[in-house]
Chain A
Amino acid sequence: MKLFRILLLVFVVLIWMFPVVFLILGATNHSGWAYQIPISFQIGNQFRINYDYLYQTFYVNSVIFNSIVVSISTALISIIVIVFASYAFSKYHFKFKNILFGIFIASIIIPQISTLVGNLKLISAIGLYGTIFGLILPFTINIRVFYYLMNMFHYIPNEIIDSARIDGASDLQIVNKISIPMTLDKIALSFFMLFVSSWNNFLIPMIMMNSRRRFTIPVMLSSLSDPLSYNTGSTLLALLIAIIPPLLLYIGLSNIIYNKNSV
């Protein structure tokens, strides 16, 4: 049984570490490294060259900057919009509440890919095609996060809200001073999920961005790894750049994610 556990741990470590190890090795080695027989597990000295290639052909610094700006703005707009809406759905009674809720939840049934044509046509109709706003605004609605936060607001006792109201607090004050602080960890988690989903947003950005200066990291990767322009070192370096920020955030937030309420 003990051997079993050790084997399991080895397996887990392999699964978890392997892509990162492979990426670090690839990013610091020359382009033929991934096809070597056998693959050498040595950190190379080609990092600078790989980076320079990315810098010269893809303006990698502005690409990283774009990705950060796009993800943070998407997550910020999203979280503000979603917090208020989910709070209203959780704590107020109003007309059409059930119908609206039904429509919101039903929209999960329709996968994003199936409205690809509609999305592209809409984005170009309102003039966002190929702009940075086209990467932000169409991706601000996330029904799953809405549903999650709505459930989390249910945990706030109504008595607290009522007593604040008797003390003369306005609705906005109640949200700001009571509801948001009480669910701050859940909101941070939601922010993280929104950030990651925007950071990993791939298909529509790839279709509509054609100026290299406006690329985000996934778009850069997809044109980097075009089979005709194999440059393994630079591709793996770009992949490393793509996975590091979400992973760091994840490690930073792991205490919130894995507290006893959520797991």
Chain B
Amino acid sequence: MNYPIEEKEEMLVIRLNGEIDLEKAPLLREALLEALDRGYPLLVEMSKVVYIDSSGIASLVEALQNARKKNLELTLISPSPRVRRVLELARLDKVFTIRTEMGNFTP
């Protein structure tokens, strides 16, 4: 399963879904880094993620570091309770910018 990327108003949205574990994490990592290569701020929509673990979190962390290097913003949008719980366990809930809404971005 791929993670669709949408482009709008100088911004990119990537929609994550399903279960992100060691099987899917490499795909996620690639998708995030490719999106950042386009040079736009990135919104990572996570409301449909039903499972994520350290391998998925590692992909997000790597993407965040990459975005900072490129001086781009990376925002997690509407993470599901499961994602929030794992971010809290990892003490990363304060590290990522998390928003519950897409803001002015409407698909």
The answer to whether A and B come from one shared complex is: no
